[in-house]
Structure 1
Amino acid sequence: MRLKDKVAIITGGANGIGKAAAEVFLNEGTKVVIADYDAESGKQVESQFLEQGFDVTFLQVNVADLASVKTMVQQVLSKYSKIDILINNAGITRDAMLVKMTEEDFNRVLDVNLKGVFNCTQAVVPYMIEKGYGKIINTSSVSGVYGNVGQTNYAATKAAVVGMTKTWAKEFGRKGINVNAVAPGFTRTNMVEKMPEKVLNHMESIVSLQRLGEPKDIANAYLFLASDESSYITGHVLHVDGGIMM
C-alpha cells in the first residue's frame, strides 16, 4: 500500500472527485477524514466506507470560516495525532456572464474556492512543519489557466490557487513539505452530468482523448502527488484534462 497509515484530510470529500479520492486513498491504506459542509452526504459516505472496514471519519466543516476549519483540524489531531496529507478539493461554481454576475455570487465563490484553501492550509501546515513532513495538494482547473466564458469568479479563484501553490512550495520546501496543484478538465461530476447532452457531446469533441474525465482520473493524480513517488516534485500544476489544451 502506497500510503499505509498516513492521515489525509480531503475537503469536499462527500461528493464527486472528493469522494473518488477518498476511496482511492482508503484502498492505499490511508486514514481518511472527509471534511465537507454537506452533512447528509458526508455521513452516508462515511457509513459506506466504514461498512467496508476502512478507517474513515466524516467531519462537517465550512472551509470559508476559519474557526470552523480550526475546530475540524483539532478534531483530526485528537483522533489521529497527525496530519500527513491535505487535499484542498472543496469548490463551488456560480456561473454567469460578467455583466450579469452578482456581487453575492462573486464573493461566495471566492470565499469557498480561494479563502477556503487559504484557511485549511494555514490551519494544517504548522503541524506538518512540526513533523517535518507533509503533502499539500490544491485543486485548480483548466479554467484557472486558460479562462472560461461565464466563469469570471471561478477562473479567478483557480488562477489564484496556482499562485498560492507556487508561493507555498517556496515557503515550505525547506520544511519537508511538498505543495502541488491539480488542474482538472471537464470531469463527469454531478454538476457536469446535469448539462444538456448537446453540450456534453461538444465538450467531448474538443478533448484530445475524446471523452470526459472520470472522478477517479483526478483522484489518481492526487494519489501520485501524495505518495513518495512524487517526493522531488513541488510547485507543480499537473493538468489532468485529456489534452483539452495543448
Structure 2
Amino acid sequence: MQHSVFISGAAQGIGAEIARLFHKNGYKVGIYDINEEQAQALAAELGTDAKAGYLDVSNYRQWQIALQEFKNWAGELNILVNNAGILYSGPFENTTIQSHHRTVDINIKGVLNGCHTALAHLKEASFARVINLSSASAIYGQADLASYSASKFAVRGLTEALDVEWQKHHIRVLDVMPLFVQTNMVKNMDAGSIQNIGVDLTPADVAKQVLHLAQQKDHALIPTHTPVGIKTKLMYQLSSISPQFLNRLTNIFLSKRS
C-alpha cells in the first residue's frame, strides 16, 4: 500500500526537500505551510500524489481541518513530519518579547498541536510514525539563540515522552537533530556559534535522515534521537559523557564572537 506523509512548513527549505524526497520514493505527500501560494507551486511541480494547503501551525483548528482534508485525499495518515519552525538570534534582551512568544507559538505549540490532532488519524493507519525536527541546539542551551534553543529542548522532551507513551498504539515518535543547515533561517544569524562551527549541512542531508527513519521497519531498535552530521553526532556523544562544567565551558568557547 502506498504510504502518505504530511509535512508542516513544507513550502521551502528543509520541508520542501523532505517533500521532494518522499515524493520521489513513492509517497503521497502533503505540503502544508502558512505560505500557501508557495506550497501550491511545489505541489504543482511534483504533480501526481502531491497535495498542498494552508496551515498556521500555531492554530489548533487549522490543524484539524488540514489533517482531515489530507486524510480524505490520501486515504490514511501514515507519517507526520513536524517541520515548521522559526528562529530569532542575538542577545536575549535585544529580542522583543513578542518574538520570543512567537518562537514558542510556532516551535512548541505547533508541534503540540500537530501531535495532538494527528493521533486519532495515526491510530487508524496501517503504519504510523511521527518525526519531529529538533536541533543540535537541544543538546546544550545556546547563547544568542535562547528561546530557539529552549523550544527545541521542548521538542526533544515531547518526543521522548510520546515515544514511550504511544508505544501502546504502536506509534514511534522520533526526532532529527541537525546543526546549522543552509537555509534562509540562518542567513545573517547573529550568534557566535554559527561563526565558530560553520554551516555544513544542506536540506538534503536532513531530508535523507527523515526518510531513513520513516522507512526503518525494525520498530523497537530505532533510536529516539538522530543527530545529523558528523559535528552534531560528536557534540551529542560528548555531551552525554562529559562533566557538566566541561559542557558549559565548551559552549562558552563556541559562543565567543570574532
TM range (shorter): 0.7 to 0.9
Q: Are 2:4 and 1:7 equivalent residues in the alignment?
A: yes
Residue equivalent to 1:16: 13
The structural deviation recorded for 1:230 is 4.8
Residue among 36, 43, 55 paired with 1:39? 36
Task: Please tell me whether the aligned partners of residues 135 and 178 of structure 2 are also in contact (alpha carbons under 8 angstroms).
Answer: yes
What is the letter of the counterpart of residue 177 of structure 2?
A
Residue equivalent to 1:227: 215
Structure 1 unmatched ranges of 5 or more: 205-210
Question: Deviation per CA, 1:99-145, whole angstroms, max 9, x where unpaired?
Answer: 22322011100000000001011111112123363110011101122
Residue equivalent to 1:214: 202
Q: Are 2:150 and 1:124 equivalent residues in the alignment?
A: no
Aligned residue for 1:232, secondary structure, equals helix
What is the letter of the counterpart of residue 17 of structure 1?
I
Question: Deviation per CA, 1:60-95, whole angstroms, max 9, x where unpaired?
Answer: 100000011111011112212210000001000122
The structural deviation recorded for 1:232 is 2.4
The structural deviation recorded for 1:39 is 1.6
Q: Are 2:131 and 1:99 equivalent residues in the alignment?
A: no
Give the whole-Å Cα distance in 1 for the aligned partners of 2:126 and 2:45.
Answer: 33
Residue equivalent to 1:26: 23
TM-score by length of 1: 0.88
The structural deviation recorded for 1:199 is 8.7
What is the letter of the counterpart of residue 207 of structure 2?
A
TM-score by length of 2: 0.84
Give the whole-Å Cα distance in 2 for the aligned partners of 1:154 and 1:182.
Answer: 16
Q: Are 2:179 and 1:185 equivalent residues in the alignment?
A: yes
Give the whole-Å Cα distance in 1 for the aligned partners of 2:63 and 2:222.
Answer: 25
Aligned residue for 1:243, secondary structure, equals helix
Give the whole-Å Cα distance in 1 for the aligned partners of 2:105 and 2:173.
Answer: 21
Structure 2 unmatched ranges of 5 or more: 239-258
Give the whole-Å Cα distance in 1 for the aligned partners of 2:187 and 2:93.
Answer: 26
The structural deviation recorded for 1:148 is 1.5
Q: Give the superposed CA RMSD.
A: 2.1
Aligned residue for 2:149, secondary structure, equals helix
- C-alpha change, 1:107 and 1:157, in structure 2 (3 Å) is same
Give the whole-Å Cα distance in 1 for the aligned partners of 2:40 and 2:49.
Answer: 14
Q: Are 2:53 and 1:62 equivalent residues in the alignment?
A: no
Aligned residue for 2:32, secondary structure, equals strand
Aligned residue for 2:87, secondary structure, equals coil
Residue equivalent to 1:82: 76
Residue equivalent to 1:208: none
Give the whole-Å Cα distance in 2 for the aligned partners of 1:169 and 1:15.
Answer: 28
- C-alpha change, 1:87 and 1:233, in structure 2 (3 Å) is farther
Give the whole-Å Cα distance in 2 for the aligned partners of 1:138 and 1:243.
Answer: 20
Give the whole-Å Cα distance in 2 for the aligned partners of 1:220 and 1:231.
Answer: 18
Residue among 99, 124, 132 paired with 1:138? 132
Give the whole-Å Cα distance in 1 for the aligned partners of 2:178 and 2:163.
Answer: 20
- C-alpha change, 1:49 and 1:169, in structure 2 (3 Å) is same
Residue equivalent to 1:207: none
- C-alpha change, 1:141 and 1:10, in structure 2 (3 Å) is same
Identity of aligned residues (%): 28
Aligned residue for 1:136, secondary structure, equals strand
Aligned length: 233
Task: Please tell me whether the aligned partners of residues 132 and 175 of structure 1 are also in contact (alpha carbons under 8 angstroms).
Answer: no
